[in-house]
Structure 1
Amino acid sequence: MVDALTSSDRVDPVSLEPVDQALIDRMWDFADPDVSAERFRAASEDGLRPTVERAVLATQLARALGLQGRFGEAFAVLDGIAGSFEPVQEAVDGPDAASVAPAGGGPVPAEVRARVAIERGRLHVADGRPADSVPDLTLAVREAAQAGSPFLVLDALHMLALHDAGHEEEWAAEGLDLLEGRRDPRTLRWGIALHHNLGWVKHDGGRTAAALVEFERAVEIADRYGSAEQQQVTRWSVGRCLRTLGRTDEALELQRSLAALRPDDPYVQAEIEALTAGEPTIEA
């Protein structure tokens, strides 16, 4: 496992002020990756924005393209980001001057390196090659630690906890350790994914009672820091786990409460059918 954010001497001297995650969150519409891609494309090409911000927004363009299955384009976007930071030499005293000075660019900041690695990993997963994501995501943990960004470390760790077969619990534990003592609500939201994913690892491994503890913890964090979607999904998982445990009355009551909030949720409807008529469910 990677020792993340344990020493101040890890912080990259090229690290700059991080790009505001709230800006990225506002631009995303995960229900409509086409619209999101156009937003990120326009923003990443806006010459009035700082170079680092444009590079970070380009990583999100790649992610949105990946959600559309446009993997070749997405990887090409990521491949092109480093070029934004290559020094451009301009003459200082005219075309015949011997001395030149950099007009921009410079080393790629650690935040950008981390985000590029994370999105490469996500693209591999979306393209059906989760094993190929592990080297990129492991690199992302290191780069994010050098950037001094717990948020990005946790993003990479939660992906590893999903896709590094045989090491899921180790990565999740590392992420949960990193969350200890954090105060930023947006960073603390990663606890939802870490507990929820860990719950499914335990559920699918036959440790259902332990899985329920993880799912219930995910609900607690979702209620405090998460979105309405996360609150719905984590409660669904509690209900699904209750069904596995044979606590079907509790499971049905919970799923019906979710159906009252979202009558068109197919996962909830499938669970209600499974609990009332023995129909097969849609698995997470």
Structure 2
Amino acid sequence: MVDFDAQWDYNHPEETERKFMSLLTQSEDSGNVGYLAELLTQVARSQGLQAKYETAHKTLDRAEKLLTKDLVVARIRYFLERGRVFNSSSRQLDAIPLFLNAWELGIQSNEQHYAVDAAHMLGIAESTQEKRMEWNLKALDYAEKCPKGSRWLGSLYNNIGWAHVESGKLEEALELFMRALEFRKVQGNPNTVFIAKWSVAKVLRLTGRVDESFAIQKELLAETEQTTEPSGYVYEEIAECLLLLNRKEEARPYFSFCYDRFVLDHWLVTNEPERIARIKESAGQSF
């Protein structure tokens, strides 16, 4: 059977969904119920990443009907993906019990990777900063002790770093983002290395080290300009750096490039309207 997890491209969930649907057609008559149930959970995840929440829930309903007590991994993945769809659609109260189920079943069955995944999602979905940090630290402790959970370290350094940013602990955040960057370099994935560099640069800006931040963001811009999808987040940070360097007019086109990309992002438009409005105003665009 094809390793469908290796087919994931989180930056292009619509393409991933098409790949998974093709595999689904091939596997439905295979008789491998566990494989089919797990694949359905990942189809749902790709749909959730496209904000197709109702469709994702219907896909998960199909997976749920296949689950039996002995299909432990499929059950954990079902809990995780149902929780992720709820979380992405701002239904955290529905998501949290599912992530708890995934965590507990992952621990009981020694499925370390999925246990850390569940704990890290609780570190995102919980209602208070204190609870989110508690789960992030619990996930980090478990990942550091368990070989199969160690692949999560980069994500956990990142998540805890942003929690520190949220609480104003910028130096602590910068240290964690630097650790994340070193970890990502060892892993060798260009996309996650890019994100880690961007995070370091953003916190450098927030701590007043604008020149250092600006230099990194320009390097990242040079990388994105070699692709067909320049990053709006890099444009935004370059614009913010230029403002702090008293180069307001130079900042405007970068805010404009950023706005053109962010306005197409359903999640940002829905959840951060003030940010979008500020970027539009800074770009000099009329409402």
User: Same fold by TM-score, threshold 0.5 exceeded?
Assistant: yes
Larger radius of gyration: 1
Question: Which letter maps to 2:139?
Answer: G
Which secondary structure does the structure 2 equivalent of 1:161 belong to?
Answer: helix
2:13 is equivalent to residue 33 of structure 1? yes
Structure 2 equivalent of residue 42 of structure 1: 22
Shift of 1:239: 0.8
- Contact 2:99-2:119 at 8 Å conserved across structures: yes
How far off its partner does 1:226 sit? Answer: 5.1
What amino acid is the match of 1:61? V
Cα drift, residue 160 of structure 1: 1.2
Whether 1:273 and 2:239 are equivalent positions in the alignment is yes
Instruction: Specify which structure has the bigger relative contact order, considering alpha-carbon pairs within 8 angstroms and separated by 6 or more residues.
Output: 1
Letter in 2 for 1:157: A
Q: Which 5+ residue runs of structure 1 have no aligned equivalent?
A: 1-18, 86-105
Percent of aligned pairs with the same amino acid: 28
Within the alignment, does 1:238 sit opposite 2:200 as a pair? yes
- Which whole-Å CA distance do the structure 2 matches of 1:76 and 1:195 have between them? 34
Matched residue type, 1:276: L
- Greater shift, 38-47 or 237-246, is seen at 38-47
**2:167 match:** 205
Task: Measure, in 2, the Cα distance between the counterparts of 1:156 and 1:233.
Answer: 22
Aligned residue among 97, 112, 124 for 2:74 = 112
Partner of 1:180, secondary structure, is helix
Residue aligning to 2:156: 194
- Give the superposition deviation at 1:63: 0.9
1:76 aligns with 2:58: yes
Q: Which has the higher helix share?
A: 2
Instruction: Please give the TM-score of this superposition, normalised by the length of structure 2.
Output: 0.76
Which residue identity does 1:140 align to in structure 2?
A
**Alignment partner, residue 127 of structure 1:** 89
From 190, 200, 204, the equivalent of 1:228 is 190
CA distance in 1, matches of 2:99, 2:157: 19
Letter in structure 2 aligned against 1:270 = E
Q: CA-to-partner distance for each residue in 1:21-54, whole Å, 9 max, x for gaps?
A: xx23322222332332232233234122622111
Q: When the two structures are aligned, how many residues end up with a matched partner?
A: 241
SS at match of 1:189: helix
Q: Does 1:218 align with 2:180?
A: yes
Match of 1:176 among 123, 133, 140: 140
Does the aligned pair in 2 maintain the 1:189–1:226 contact within 8 Å?
no
Report deviation, 1:119. 0.3
- Name the amino acid aligned to 2:55: E
Q: 2 CA distance for matches of 1:73 and 1:265? A: 28
CA distance in 1, matches of 2:11, 2:242: 30
Q: Which is further off, 201-210 or 66-75?
A: 66-75
Q: CA RMSD in A?
A: 2.3
Q: Is the 8 A contact 1:189 1:221 kept in 2?
A: no
CA distance in 1 between partners of 2:165 and 2:159 (Å) = 10
Alpha-carbon deviation of 1:253? 1.6
1:221-249, CA deviations, whole angstroms, 9 ceiling, x for partnerless residues? 11112521111111111111111111112
